Amino acid sequence: MGVRGLAPALFLRLGKDQECYDFLKWYHTTGKSPTHDWGDTDLGFLDIKDADIFKPVDLYTGEYSDTSHAAAVTLIKIRQLLDAKALDNATILGEKIPMEIINNIRGNLVSSIIAKNKDIMLSTDRGPFMKKLEDQIKRLYEAVNVTNKFFWPALINPGSDLGAPPETYSHGSQQHMRLIPNYNYASWDETPGAIDLIKEMVAKNYAQVH
């Protein structure tokens, strides 16, 4: 039924980034194992919990990676990057505002994933962390581009692509592209700054090619 392509975006719309990542991690490990018996209902199903969301993104950047899944991981990483930038902005405010107030502001600025990570929350230099995220986002962006070159342009300028999904499609085709934005667009649109970041990457990529 292809529900696994839709579920990650629904998790993200609910702000359940960790649950989304657990779902994706299971499908790209146990779910892809050639020895996994899908007919055995006694085996664990979606039983990965609290996977390390800060891990490298290699699982999702292979030649045959799932475009919708890679897009979901990209949004997770972008949300982390936006959170880190928001924390840095709050730190600048801390020069004029009592630290107790700043700490309260920080807790409300970021997702629960970042809020639970004391190293990131209390860091005085988030530059290396943000650089790592930027590198991961770039890899994911390129991986999505390989699996479906139509997706990013459709995400930043959806137009008529947001509508009835195609009845049939082949992976990597324009018909497939029409399906994936329908799954993912709302979760991106509801994350301020996320689509703008992709616009910058598309423009930069276009400039390099031309």
Dump pLDDT digits (tens) for 69-117: 999 999 999 999 999 998 888 766 555 666 666 566 565 668 889 988 9
Rounded CA-CA distance 9/182 in Å is 10
What is the widest separation between alpha-carbon atoms in the chain?
Answer: 61
CB 155 within 8 A of CB 191: no
User: What is the predicted pLDDT for the residue at 88?
Assistant: 85
Instruction: Give percent of the chain with pLDDT exceeding 90.
Output: 51
Distance CA(122)–CA(88), nearest Å, equals: 10
Rounded Cα distance, 71 and 82, in Å: 16
Q: Which of 85, 128, 131 is nearest to 106 (CA)?
A: 85
pTM, 2 dp: 0.86
SS3 state of residue 20 = helix
Q: How far is CA 148 from the centre of its chain?
A: 16
Answer for the pair 5, 183: CB distance below 8 angstroms, yes or no: yes
The yes-or-no verdict on residue 149 having pLDDT over 90 is: no
